[in-house]
């Protein structure tokens, strides 16, 4: 007779929290029959039991932070790590709960933090992988996969447009390419830009960081530079791209600001580069572009760390505070009017606003902002 097998129960739970969710894993202990327990342990089973006991002891020793911000950061770290291990069906279900608009042509989701759009080195799961599953959840088992219309960085949250038909996806992509889509991002920055509103019009190129072989970053490629007090025109790099960003401060303190950003062009990491290297106010949680020469977590002032309730040693866990707040799509297909798409801020973004003393605007001139309780837990 075959030996009774041990079984394990794995349950994935998705808890929503202002569109950011926490992904928790509850794994029950193996259930073994008395007959199996009475048999002598072989080497493999003994090793498995010892590993399980060691893991259990390690879990007990892990200190649960008493500071609520540290707990939220810990949850976020766990959440982003588990997104790469979750079953595709579970991820598709989570995305379906984040739908902000749906019609016969488009599906618009609120993209979570830490989830890549496309596959690549080290990426086990991404949005494009689960589009066939998401389509079946929304339209049945015979549904064709949804199509990506544009992309967002892994660390960026907010409005993401999908299309049912490939032809519609191409039309939307063309609208993005020809700059007919109005885009508004919100970002929390370290320091406030001067002046409080303006346009950054500085080309961007990609360069290898000096002294760090094989590590590249996007950087500014200005047309002019100062030489002995005189302005000298610089020869334009053929790899440089025109990059234009309009910005406006919505709320500010001495050490931080909430900005609305409207990228006129769509160059890789444009907003992050313009803010950090152009305006000297990097985005909170931007550990890549806060310093050109360093490969280290963002260095924050003592006052900012105190407000966030974190020591500098934990600053590496602060997520990028960049949110694709709004898209305005022109009339397309059977739709005769503009489509205004707005995504709520993620929970960690709201909590940071509250802790840093930044105010949420009540309403913009077009009535697109909504008020929210900044202290939402």
**Rg (Cα) of the chain, in Å, rounded?**
24
The pLDDT of residue 45:
76
What is the C-alpha to C-alpha distance for residues 141 and 151, in angstroms, rounded to an integer?
26
Low-confidence residues in the chain, pLDDT < 50: 2-38, 365-367, 370-377
Q: What would the two tokens of residue 235 be?
A: 């020869």
pLDDT digits 0-9 by tens, 145-178: 999 999 999 999 999 999 999 999 999 999 999 9
The pLDDT of residue 370:
46
The pLDDT of residue 21:
42
| pTM, 2 dp | 0.77
pLDDT digits 0-9 by tens, 338-350: 999 999 999 999 9
The pLDDT of residue 83:
61
CATH 3.30.2350.10 in the chain: give the residue spans: 67-178, 182-361
* Catalytic positions: 153
The pLDDT of residue 214:
66
The pLDDT of residue 49:
77
What is the C-alpha to C-alpha distance for residues 302 and 35, in angstroms, rounded to an integer?
61
Question: Would you state the CATH architecture of domain 67-178?
Answer: 2-Layer Sandwich (3.30)
The superfamily in CATH containing domain 182-361 is Pseudouridine synthase (3.30.2350.10)
The pLDDT of residue 341:
96
Tell me the C-alpha to C-alpha distance, in Å, between residue 262 and each of 55, 66, 184, 322, 348: 48, 39, 5, 12, 22
Report whether 328 contacts 316 (CB < 8 A).
no
């Amino acid at each position: 007779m075959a030996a009774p097998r041990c079984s394990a129960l794995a349950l994935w739970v998705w808890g929503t929290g202002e569109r950011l969710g926490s992904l928790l894993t509850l794994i029950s202990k193996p259930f073994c029959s008395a007959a199996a327990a009475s048999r002598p342990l072989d080497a493999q089973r003994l090793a498995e039991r010892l590993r399980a006991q060691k893991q259990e002891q390690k879990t007990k020793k892990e200190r649960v932070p008493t500071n609520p911000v540290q707990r939220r950061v810990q949850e976020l770290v766990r959440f982003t790590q588990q997104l790469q291990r979750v079953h595709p069906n579970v991820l598709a279900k989570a995305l379906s709960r984040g739908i902000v608009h749906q019609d016969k042509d488009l599906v618009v989701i609120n993209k979570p933090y830490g989830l890549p759009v496309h596959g690549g080195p080290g990426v086990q799961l991404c949005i494009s992988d689960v589009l066939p599953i998401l389509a079946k959840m929304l339209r049945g088992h015979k549904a064709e996969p949804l199509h990506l219309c544009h992309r967002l960085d892994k660390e960026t949250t907010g409005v993401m447009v999908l299309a049912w038909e490939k032809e519609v996806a191409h039309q939307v992509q063309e609208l993005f390419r020809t700059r007919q889509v109005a885009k508004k991002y919100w970002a929390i920055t370290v320091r406030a830009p001067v002046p409080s509103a303006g346009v950054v019009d500085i080309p961007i190129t990609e360069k290898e960081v000096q002294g760090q072989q094989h590590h590249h970053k996007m950087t500014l490629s200005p047309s002019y530079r100062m030489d002995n007090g005189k302005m000298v025109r610089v020869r334009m790099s053929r790899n440089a791209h025109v990059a234009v960003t309009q910005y406006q401060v919505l709320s500010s303190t001495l050490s931080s600001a909430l900005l609305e950003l409207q990228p006129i062009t769509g160059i890789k990491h444009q907003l992050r580069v313009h803010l950090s290297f152009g305006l000297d106010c990097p985005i909170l949680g931007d550990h890549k572009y806060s310093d050109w020469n360093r490969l280290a977590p963002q260095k924050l002032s003592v006052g900012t760390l105190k407000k966030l309730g974190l020591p500098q040693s934990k600053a590496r866990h602060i997520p990028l505070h960049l949110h694709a707040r709004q898209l305005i799509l022109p009339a397309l297909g059977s739709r005769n009017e503009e489509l205004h798409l707005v995504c709520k801020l993620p929970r960690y973004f709201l909590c940071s606003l509250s802790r840093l003393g930044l105010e949420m605007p009540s309403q913009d001139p077009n009535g697109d902002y909504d008020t929210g309780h900044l202290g939402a837990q």
